[in-house]
Structure 1
């Protein structure tokens, strides 16, 4: 897989209809190589500190159970809105996420945008020009 360490985020799009998030980044030694990061079959996402010139540190796939633990307050606040899906108890949410093969991707930044994505997969590839 293509390295994303120190890539600058140029833009990102959230396509709710196609359940896809696409980051356009620049990487390589001089940050001139266009690299695409795609999250596919997304369920939910959360980004913060979106800044011009955001620099990626890493994207890690973490245990889906960590998503529930890391975001307890957010889940409690949004539960009545059926976000990210309808569930009675967080245990039910966790079971459905596991059963449907969702992954928890955490986006770490050296500077700027960071957050997470719940999706079934993600890929990184060099954009063809």
Structure 2
């Protein structure tokens, strides 16, 4: 297990990446190869925000490939990523894995959508956002 970052100048991202490495390595009892820096990986250098790329497995590792074909292992990795993201952003964990989504409109004019989001946020729905359909 290893996590790649574009830069190591962000302490919060470093903590997140180290936590991912440690937690995923523990799931599979695998070697923690740590956090690595790269300014060449497109997925990292072409973002406008801090970014990390986790390598959970190497294609040459037959045992790891077998382990990643088990749905409970995939869910465990997803939960570790979720938990580390919750820590990174200082969010509150949801007690249940079930979430209910509510759509309150569809608008051709983006300004109408922006106004609807503002109204919802003004009423206390702080997690309101716009989804753009193509």
Name the structure, 1 or 2, with higher relative contact order (CA <8 Å, separation 6+).
1
Q: Which of 1 and 2 has greater Rg?
A: 2
Relative to the length of structure 2, the TM-score reads: 0.22
Relative to the length of structure 1, the TM-score reads: 0.22
